[in-house]
């Protein structure tokens, strides 16, 4: 029987809600982010962004910019130094084609069209202003156009590109009740609080980078490729990222240009993108138009679930929001199809943004499920339970674990769902606000990547563990250290963790909610390797109380090795090492999911989100007043940090449901609200009555640690729950996100 | 044009010379005075990451021209508490996990210190939410931020009866 | 930012002497410094007026009137207990604007002179008659922004919250200039764009706001006043629509009424005829609806079907309703918000 939020003791550290190990550094301002470093002789770089989305740059007033005091150099396509890597090619599998002044064409608004290098940030900014670009502009394509659509197969995150099980047309045609609805979602931009930055310094052909990266080793490989140097010549420091959300895993054009400038000018260069330039070269979540066709039989069983998603990509590269993936593995539909179509627009290439695919897809799916339940006259939760998938729909594969039923039950209890009237517009608060309740199912796959780690046990009984992990706020500095401490049988305070630097073993990618499982798995393996070596020494040492014991019977805890079946036979690590020449012991480990494991089970985190909204009956302003999310995501390493991830994801759901949308100027194609006053993300006052429950899952299949990940699932489910709550409050089905006052005001 | 101001910065009065009237307090701190704890998030007063105290009041350093600050008292995150100690707001942020990536955190903390000094919000969660809405947190640690401000307010106003954690927010 | 000379005059006279075309007054900087960063304002001289003595006082006179210096910070004015009691909807409008940090920096005079929040005005590369006379208006491609009072050349919306109740309360602006001091009734401070969108106010070049006065009669609305602001998020957002409503009630009838709207026009908007409809009537939904609709009577034909017109009418209507209910004892937790209390209780119909 799963329990709510019980700290699970895995060893003595994992499962404990310890506070962040980087907490003091972050609350005192001591934590150094990339742009906080300032080597002597620094030059400041700033890109000139294209003010049109399609066309050519015909003139730049370079002389005027270069004559401004403090401006050192202006880089343009005419003088851009040689770059070994071709920007039309991709250095790594996760890369996108970038813009590094390879020609005078403009492919999207905000694209770099020149770079100014100056002695001060003030001079760089004025230099950019004085360039006064002139363009030959063409009519941009910035809206989803059905006519231009073509079939695409987006790379799923742990899911196939498309699915088809059963005869979807026949099933939909024969359904007792059928639904055919289209939902849209808006273009969204990551907008991490720290904009993309780099401080680049060359010594000979060695490159030193302070650069926030969600994937340190992969980034080093990419930069080495761009600059034609061996990967070992690149060092990258990324101890803290000021948020990433998917946007900081790969090189961007402005960062590559800044590094290039540092090489040709022979001085360190700092670039920090202005906020407005975060709406172009750094990726975004593409808009979608999703058609959902559902059918049910007389017993309310889903006979058909057909999910098609149309989404945008750029004119020169491919990333399509894999929205229809959300329908692949959730409900027990007899016939199931998911397909994707794309269009090319004059926008920067979209990319993965927190819960890519599932965020947009589950928004549409969960609302469509609500509409189907409404048609059937059923409670939305009861309808979902009637269509609960015991095995993966279509394939019949077992789930590695799936405590979704408990999430439904516990979330509903905590929320008070049982009191929900079936029909809309039935509830008011004391001030006459319309009140509505809605729910949605949350899901996100549980992928793993590859990582390596090293662990060293010191003669004094302390340890050093190392992997180049990325902490963008999820808590890697803390949770990974907890995992490593348990593997070593040490209290957390005896473990020093080195991370966030490319000189360390490859910690893999912080993405796909798989970083704790992957980097943690590698640290676990490294720690286990050290303990195995230590046990070999002890059991072979006649002076040890463990002498003669078989290795398999020895375990580590609290800085001691002991016999599992006779705990009185124990010895401290220091004592064992002292007799072994006082040397330290080093072990290594790696983690990756064997392909056969990935085939055998369907692996996902699940959850249920319940939302309450209040809507002014005349003015139609909406406030989310309660959100209860119950999530099952395998083992929770640090409940305090996991809760924060889930809260954060749910608040992203508020933003997606009510706020976030980039508006393009129809004539130029540029984003009109490319700032934080116009592109609204939730503020503190948007968040009230938030509650997270976690349901523990014992998952022996997903990975050795039983971790599924919590970074992204909070967004999913929430968006649909809010949309459904708005329907329940107002009786209005708004089939686009974000839902705006104007939608609700319409008669 | 060369400028000079006398500033009491984190408790130390000093003469500060800079070369350009365009320099904002934010760029003065970050690029000239080696105090990068104050963060640049939007550079336009729209996110609050650069919040510092000027003459005891929270303000956005990005929209403050350094030249205007002759005689001013400026407190940044680096000067909030003596070396090796934490201000009650800093401690409360750790206790309530009121941050994730930590980038907006110096601004959040300085804003919270300012808000508590303003005395309008007390421990009312709704007034704290409103009062902290000038500080955007993209990780969305708002739940913890509200709890942290409650805890810190309690410990600063009633240090003896302060609860470890705040009310449900 | 263009390089500029920085001047910090010690007296008003010095300041007025320093001014020349190309110079800009600097108060709190929350608007000007931002505009300079994005290339919209490019002054060659910045005249920091914050060291001028005598411009930071809040004087409440016994007759109910008030005089507020131009350098008074938004937060200081809103938090002044006597002022907030006398002019609650002004305090609420102040606190509904921007953020705590910005309100600590922004000044009264600067708030009155705020630049519009048209996206094209803020993008120097685009056509904007207000920023660059004769260059055209890119906002026309979306049919314009303001619902009322726009011209062919400009439809930018006035962004201020504070100006809405000040207009309603017949404030008077005191101005100093090279030719001496003069007084400007609030209703004539801002001008409609017409054929000269570049001229947003009736101040002459080189004139400087030194103070604002609220007349004695304004305080009689203290018991029945409300500022309501509809936003796309709960806080820290510009108004989609806003309304300042104030009533004087005697024996169950409205004896005086004020109604001004924000977020809909190139300047804060007030229609005295709409107020007149309320006089002598008992407060009630029907008369409020009529007055609110009348306030939008002048809407441009193209804006007739605009959802924001309906929203503005309803905003005015609800503000009148709230004013009739009476000013609350303390400012609500979310000033200006539609969401007045965080009450969790829910009743089932």
Using a CB–CB cutoff of 8 Å, tell me whether C333 touches chain B: yes
Please count the residue pairs, one from chain B and one from chain C, whose beta carbons lie less than 8 angstroms apart: 97
Extended strands (E) in C233-303: 241-250, 253-262, 269-270
Please give the backbone phi and psi of residue C7, each rounded to the nearest 5 degrees, phi first. -120, 145
Give me the pLDDT at residue A7, please: 32
- In this predicted structure, which of A130-134, A394-398, C73-77 has the lowest mean pLDDT? A394-398
In DSSP terms, A560 is beta-bridged to: A557, A572
- Examine the pLDDT at C301 and tell me if it is beyond 90: no
The ranges of chain B annotated as CATH 3.10.20.30 are 3-79
Please count the residue pairs, one from chain A and one from chain B, whose beta carbons lie less than 8 angstroms apart: 185
Mean pLDDT across the stretch C244-258? 98
In DSSP terms, B16 is beta-bridged to: B5
pLDDT tens digits, residue range C153-185? 999 999 999 999 999 999 999 999 999 999 999
Q: A600: which residues sit within 8 A by CB, 6+ positions away? A: A397, A398, A701
Chain A segment 266-285 residues within 8 A of B by beta carbon are 272, 274-275
Q: A503: which residues sit within 8 A by CB, 6+ positions away? A: A235, A468
**CA dihedral for C104, C106, C112, C116, sign (positive or negative):** negative
| Burial of A708 from C-beta contacts in 10 A (0-12 / 13-18 / 19+) | buried
Q: Which of C299, C278, C280, C263 is nearest to C96 (CA)?
A: C263
Extended strands (E) in chain B: 3-9, 12-18, 51-54, 57-60, 73-75
- Examine the pLDDT at B61 and tell me if it is beyond 50: yes
Q: Closest Cα of chain C to A183: distance in Å?
A: 21
- Specify the CATH number of the domain B88-157: 1.10.150.120
Give me the pLDDT at residue B53, please: 98
Residue A111 · residue A276 · CB < 8 Å = no
Give me the pLDDT at residue C342, please: 56
Residues of C in contact with B45 (CB under 8 A): 30, 34, 98-99, 101-102
Give me the pLDDT at residue A442, please: 98
Residue A387 · residue A376 · CB < 8 Å = no
The percent of residues above 70 in pLDDT, for chain C, comes to 97
Is A284-447+599-745 the same fold as A23-30+449-592?
Answer: yes
Mean pLDDT across the stretch A132-160? 88
Mean residue pLDDT of chain A comes to 95
C46 and B59: CB-CB below 8 Å?
Answer: no
Distance CA C56, CA C176 (A): 15
Give me the pLDDT at residue B158, please: 67
Q: Which of B161, B134, B137, B129 is nearest to B149 (CA)?
A: B129
Domains in chain C, start-ordered, CATH in brackets?
1-51 (3.30.43.10), 58-113+158-218 (3.30.465.10), 222-325 (3.30.390.50)
ipTM: 0.97
pLDDT tens digits, residue range A267-298? 999 999 999 999 999 999 999 999 999 999 99
Using a CB–CB cutoff of 8 Å, tell me whether A184 touches chain B: no
In DSSP terms, A439 is beta-bridged to: A610
The ranges of chain B annotated as CATH 1.10.150.120 are 88-157
pLDDT tens digits, residue range A488-533? 999 999 999 999 999 999 999 999 999 999 999 999 999 999 999 9
Q: Does domain A34-138+195-241+248-278 have CATH number 1.20.1740.10?
A: no
Which chains pack against B, by 3+ Cβ pairs within 8 A? A, C
pLDDT band at residue C348 under the 50/70/90 scheme: low
B70 and C79: CB-CB below 8 Å?
Answer: no
CATH classification (class only), A284-447+599-745 = alpha beta
DSSP letters, A204-222, are TTEEEEE---S-HHHHHHH
The percent of residues above 90 in pLDDT, for chain A, comes to 94
Distance CA A495, CA A461 (A): 9
Residue A59 · residue A114 · CB < 8 Å = no
pLDDT band at residue C305 under the 50/70/90 scheme: confident
Phi-psi region of A214 (alpha: psi -120 to 50; beta: other; left: phi over 0): alpha
Distance CA A22, CA A472 (A): 12
Say how many CA atoms lie within 13 Å of A50 toward its Cβ: 36
Distance CA C46, CA A204 (A): 45
Q: Is A747 assigned a catalytic role?
A: no
Mean pLDDT across the stretch A716-730? 98
pLDDT band at residue B162 under the 50/70/90 scheme: very low
Question: What does the DSSP 8-state code read for residue C305?
Answer: T
pLDDT tens digits, residue range C217-240? 999 999 999 999 999 999 999 999
Using a CB–CB cutoff of 8 Å, tell me whether C3 touches chain B: yes
- Examine the pLDDT at C128 and tell me if it is beyond 80: yes
- Examine the pLDDT at B164 and tell me if it is beyond 70: no
Question: What does the DSSP 8-state code read for residue B81?
Answer: S
Distance CA A13, CA A2 (A): 20
> Which CATH number, 1.10.630.10, 1.10.10.60, 3.40.50.720, 3.10.20.30, labels domain B3-79?
3.10.20.30
Chain B segment 53-72 residues within 8 A of A by beta carbon are none
Distance of CA A270 to the CA centre of its chain: 26
Q: Which of A636, A641, A455 is nearest to A531 (CA)?
A: A455
Mean pLDDT across the stretch A214-226? 97
Which chains pack against A, by 3+ Cβ pairs within 8 A? B, C
Residues of B in contact with C79 (CB under 8 A): 118, 120
- Examine the pLDDT at B2 and tell me if it is beyond 90: no
In DSSP terms, A292 is beta-bridged to: A181, A307
Nearest-Cα residue of chain C relative to residue A134: C125
pLDDT band at residue A93 under the 50/70/90 scheme: confident
Say how many CA atoms lie within 13 Å of C161 toward its Cβ: 30
Distance CA A246, CA C91 (A): 42
Question: What does the DSSP 8-state code read for residue B28?
Answer: I
Give me the pLDDT at residue B139, please: 98
The H or E element that residue B89 is part of is helix B88-95
Give me the pLDDT at residue A1, please: 27
The percent of residues above 90 in pLDDT, for chain C, comes to 93
User: Roughly what angle, to the nearest 10 degrees, separates helices B142-157 and B88-95?
Assistant: 140
Distance CA A291, CA A310 (A): 8
Mean pLDDT across the stretch A137-144? 96
Radius of gyration, CA atoms only, chain B: 16
The percent of residues above 70 in pLDDT, for chain A, comes to 98
pLDDT band at residue A552 under the 50/70/90 scheme: low
Give me the pLDDT at residue C174, please: 98
B114 and C104: CB-CB below 8 Å?
Answer: yes
Instruction: Determine which one of A612, A712, A742, A747 is catalytic.
Output: A712
Q: B85: which residues sit within 8 A by CB, 6+ positions away? A: none
Give me the pLDDT at residue A6, please: 31
**CATH-assigned architecture of domain A23-30+449-592:** 2-Layer Sandwich (3.30)
- Say whether A707 sits in a helix, a strand or coil: strand
Q: Which of A457, A279, A33, C135 is nearest to B106 (CA)?
A: A33
Distance CA A202, CA A258 (A): 12
Mean residue pLDDT of chain C comes to 96
- The domain ranges of chain A are 23-30+449-592, 34-138+195-241+248-278, 284-447+599-745
| Burial of A473 from C-beta contacts in 10 A (0-12 / 13-18 / 19+) | buried
Residue B69 · residue B31 · CB < 8 Å = no
Higher pLDDT, A6 or A140: A140
Residues of A in contact with C137 (CB under 8 A): none
Widest pairwise Cα distance in chain B: 54
Q: A342: which residues sit within 8 A by CB, 6+ positions away? A: A149, A150, A151, A152, A310, A311, A312, A313, A318, A320
From the list B47, B95, B141, which residue is nearest A676 (CB)?
B47
Mean pLDDT across the stretch A293-319? 97
A429 and C343: CB-CB below 8 Å?
Answer: yes
- In this predicted structure, which of A46-55, A90-99, A136-145, A184-193 has the lowest mean pLDDT? A90-99
Distance CA A497, CA A483 (A): 11
- Say whether A295 sits in a helix, a strand or coil: strand
Give me the pLDDT at residue C60, please: 98
Please give the backbone phi and psi of residue C270, each rounded to the nearest 5 degrees, phi first. -145, 135
Residue B142 · residue A650 · CB < 8 Å = no
C3 and B115: CB-CB below 8 Å?
Answer: no
């Amino acid at each position: 029987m799963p329990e709510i939020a019980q700290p699970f003791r895995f060893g003595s550290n994992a499962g404990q809600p310890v506070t962040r190990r980087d907490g003091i550094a972050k609350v005192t301002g001591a934590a150094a982010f990339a742009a906080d470093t300032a080597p002597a002789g620094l030059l400041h770089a700033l890109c000139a962004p294209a003010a049109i989305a399609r066309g050519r740059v015909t003139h730049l007033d370079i002389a005027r910019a270069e004559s401004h005091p403090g401006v050192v150099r202006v880089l343009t396509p005419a003088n851009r130094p040689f770059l070994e890597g071709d920007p039309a090619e991709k250095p790594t599998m996760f890369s996108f084609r970038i813009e590094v002044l390879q020609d005078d064409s403009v492919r999207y608004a905000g694209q770099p069209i020149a770079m100014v290098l100056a002695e001060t940030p003030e001079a760089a900014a004025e230099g950019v202003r004085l360039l006064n670009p002139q363009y030959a502009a063409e009519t941009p394509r910035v809206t989803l156009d059905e006519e231009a659509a073509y079939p695409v197969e987006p790379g799923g995150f742990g899911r196939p590109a498309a699915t088809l099980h059963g005869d979807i047309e026949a099933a939909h045609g024969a359904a007792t009740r059928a639904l055919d609805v289209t939902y849209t979602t808006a273009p969204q931009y990551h907008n991490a609080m720290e904009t993309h930055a780099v401080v680049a310094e060359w010594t000979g052909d060695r490159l030193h980078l302070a650069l926030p990266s969600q994937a340190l080793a992969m980034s080093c490989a990419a930069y080495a490729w761009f600059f034609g140097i061996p990967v070992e010549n690149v060092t990258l420091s990324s101890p803290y990222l000021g948020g990433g959300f998917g946007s900081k895993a790969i090189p961007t054009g402005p960062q590559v240009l800044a590094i290039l400038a540092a090489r040709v000018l022979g001085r360190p260069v700092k670039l920090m993108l202005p906020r407005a330039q975060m709406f172009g070269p750094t990726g975004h979540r593409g808009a979608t138009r999703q058609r959902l066709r559902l059918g049910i039989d007389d017993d309310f069983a889903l006979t058909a679930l057909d999910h098609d998603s149309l989404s945008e990509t750029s004119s020169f590269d491919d990333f399509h929001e894999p929205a229809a993936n959300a329908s692949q593995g959730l409900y027990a539909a007899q016939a199931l199809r998911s397909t994707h179509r794309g269009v090319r627009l004059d926008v920067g290439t979209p990319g993965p943004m927190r819960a890519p695919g599932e965020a947009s897809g589950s928004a549409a799916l969960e609302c469509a499920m609500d509409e189907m339940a409404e048609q059937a006259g059923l409670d939305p939760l009861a309808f979902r339970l009637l269509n609960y998938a015991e095995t993966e729909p279509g394939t019949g594969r077992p789930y590695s674990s799936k405590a979704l039923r408990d999430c439904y039950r516990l979330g509903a209890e905590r929320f008070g769902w049982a009191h929900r009237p079936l029909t809309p517009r039935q509830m008011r608060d004391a001030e006459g606000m319309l009140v509505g309740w809605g729910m949605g199912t949350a899901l996100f796959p549980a992928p793993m990547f590859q990582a390596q780690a090293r662990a060293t046990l010191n003669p004094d009984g302390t340890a050093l563990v190392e992997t180049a992990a990325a902490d963008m706020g999820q808590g890697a500095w803390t949770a990974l250290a907890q995992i490593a401490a348990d593997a070593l049988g040490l209290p957390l305070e005896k473990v020093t963790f080195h991370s966030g630097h490319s000189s360390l073993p490859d910690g893999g990618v912080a993405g796909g909610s798989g970083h704790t499982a992957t980097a943690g798995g590698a640290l676990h393996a490294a720690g286990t390797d050290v303990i195995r070596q230590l046990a070999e020494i002890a059991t072979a040492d006649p002076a040890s109380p463990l002498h003669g014991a078989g290795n398999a019977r020895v375990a580590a805890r609290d800085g001691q090795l002991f016999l599992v079946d006779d705990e009185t036979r124990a010895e401290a690590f220091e004592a064992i090492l002292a007799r072994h020449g006082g040397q330290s012991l080093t072990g290594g480990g790696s983690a990756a999911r064997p392909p056969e494991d990935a085939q055998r089970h369907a692996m996902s985190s699940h959850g249920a989100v319940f939302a309450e909204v209040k809507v002014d009956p005349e003015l139609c302003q909406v406030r989310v007043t309660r959100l209860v999310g119950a999530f099952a995501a395998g083992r929770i390493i640090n409940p305090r940090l996991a809760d924060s991830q889930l809260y954060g994801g749910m608040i992203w759901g508020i933003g997606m449901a009510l706020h976030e949308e980039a508006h393009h100027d129809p004539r130029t194609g540029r984003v009109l609200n490319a700032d934080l006053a116009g592109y609204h993300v939730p503020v503190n006052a948007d968040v009230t009555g938030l509650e997270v429950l976690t349901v523990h899952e014992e998952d022996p299949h997903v990975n050795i640690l039983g971790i599924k990940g919590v970074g992204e699932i909070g967004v999913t489910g929430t968006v649909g729950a809010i949309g459904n709550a708005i329907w329940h409050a107002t009786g209005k089905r708004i089939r686009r996100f974000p839902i705006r006052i104007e939608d609700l005001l319409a008669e | 044009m060369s400028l000079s101001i006398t500033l009491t910065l984190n408790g130390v009065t000093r003469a500060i010379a800079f070369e350009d009237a365009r320099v904002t307090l934010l760029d003065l701190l970050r690029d000239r005075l080696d105090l990068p704890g104050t963060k640049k998030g939007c550079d336009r007063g729209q996110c609050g990451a650069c919040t510092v105290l000027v003459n005891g009041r929270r303000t956005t350093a990005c929209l403050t021209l350094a030249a205007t600050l002759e005689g001013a008292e400026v407190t940044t995150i680096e000067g909030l508490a003596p070396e090796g100690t934490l201000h009650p707001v800093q401690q409360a942020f750790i206790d309530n996990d009121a941050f994730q990536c930590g980038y907006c955190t110096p601004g959040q903390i300085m804003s919270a210190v300012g808000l508590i000094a303003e005395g309008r919000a007390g421990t009312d969660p709704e007034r704290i939410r409103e009062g902290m809405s000038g500080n955007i947190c993209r990780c969305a640690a708002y739940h913890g931020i509200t709890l942290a401000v409650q805890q810190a307010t309690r410990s600063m106003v009633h240090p003896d009866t302060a609860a470890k954690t705040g009310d449900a927010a | 930012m263009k390089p500029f000379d920085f001047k910090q005059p010690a007296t008003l006279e010095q300041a007025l002497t320093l001014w020349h075309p190309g110079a800009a007054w600097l108060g709190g900087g929350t608007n000007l410094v931002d505009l300079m960063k994005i290339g919209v304002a490019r002054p060659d001289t910045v005249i920091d007026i914050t060291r001028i003595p005598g411009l930071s006082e809040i004087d409440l006179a016994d007759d109910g009137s008030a005089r507020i210096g131009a350098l008074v910070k938004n937060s200081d004015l809103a938090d002044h207990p006597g002022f907030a009691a006398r002019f609650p909807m002004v305090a609420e409008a102040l606190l509904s604007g921007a953020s705590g940090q910005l309100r600590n920096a922004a000044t009264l005079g600067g708030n009155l002179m705020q630049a519009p929040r048209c996206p094209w005005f803020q993008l120097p590369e685009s056509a904007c008659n207000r920023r660059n006379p004769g260059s055209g208006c890119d906002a026309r491609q979306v049919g314009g922004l303001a619902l009322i009072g726009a011209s062919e050349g400009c439809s930018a919306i006035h962004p201020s919250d504070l100006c809405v109740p000040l207009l309603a309360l017949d404030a008077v602006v005191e101005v100093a200039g090279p030719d001496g001091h003069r007084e400007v009734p609030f209703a004539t401070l801002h001008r409609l764009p017409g054929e000269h969108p570049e001229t947003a106010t009736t101040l002459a070049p080189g004139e400087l706001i030194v103070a604002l006065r609220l007349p004695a009669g304004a305080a009689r609305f203290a018991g029945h006043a409300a500022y309501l602001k509809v936003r796309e998020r709960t806080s820290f957002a510009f108004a989609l629509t806003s309304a300042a409503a104030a009533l004087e009630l005697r024996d169950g009838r409205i004896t005086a009424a004020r109604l001004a709207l924000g977020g809909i026009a190139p300047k804060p908007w007030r229609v005295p005829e709409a107020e007149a409809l309320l006089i002598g009537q008992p407060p009630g939904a029907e008369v409020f609806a009529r007055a609110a609709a009348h306030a939008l009577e002048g809407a441009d034909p193209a804006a007739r079907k605009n959802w924001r017109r309906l929203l503005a009418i309803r905003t005015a209507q609800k503000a009148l309703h709230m004013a009739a209910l009476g000013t609350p004892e303390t400012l609500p937790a979310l000033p200006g918000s539609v969401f007045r209390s965080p009450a969790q209780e829910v009743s089932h119909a």
